[in-house]
Amino acid sequence: MEMRHYIRAVGLMRTILATLLTDTLVSCSTIPDPIKDNIKYPHTFHDVGYLEKYGRIAFDDVADLTVDLTKLVYSDKDGILEIKFEVVEDIAYEKIFFTDPNNYVVISYKDGLSSKKAMFTAFKYNGWFGGTSEIDQVILHAYGQYKVRTQK
């Protein structure tokens, strides 16, 4: 193959790949931007991975996460984890494993006298295409609304 044909083929493949990737990224978003203007509560995310502890390489479960204006509710086959915003200490968006490409929403909260963490990531497309950032934005928006309402 001549070099000019090779360059054309590479350019064409790059264009096709960019188009497919853009379509995938757009299709992963479930709430139109800006999220704060378009979110309706309670909002449920499906296929959310959950970890209770750092160091695990597999999710404890994959199920539904519902974000309300006062709490988060994770419902799986084993039961319900409910985290009220009044006990939340911190919300972070981070990588928790250096080998894992996924980002996680890490909720630090009090359970009685002990501190706990709940880590969530979008399981669809392994969280690579914006699903986890959308979860983070919705949780932060709901938590901000909670703080505004309770400080009056």
pLDDT digits (tens, 9 = 90+) for 46-69: 989 888 877 666 676 789 999 999
Asked if the model's pLDDT at residue 25 lies above 60, the reply is no
DSSP state of 68: -
Q: Please state, rounded to an integer, the average pLDDT across all residues of the chain.
A: 80
- Listed by start position, the domains of the chain span 1-30, 32-150
| Helical spans, DSSP H, in the chain | 3-28, 35-38, 131-150
Asked if the model's pLDDT at residue 27 lies above 50, the reply is no
Tokens of 120: 């969530």
CA distances from 83 to 65, 92, 103, 108 (A): 11, 15, 20, 10
Model-level pTM?
0.75
Tokens of 7: 């360059």
pLDDT recorded at residue 31:
66
pLDDT recorded at residue 56:
63
The domain at 32-150 falls in which architecture?
A: Roll (2.30)
Beta-carbon neighbour count of residue 123 at 10 Å?
20
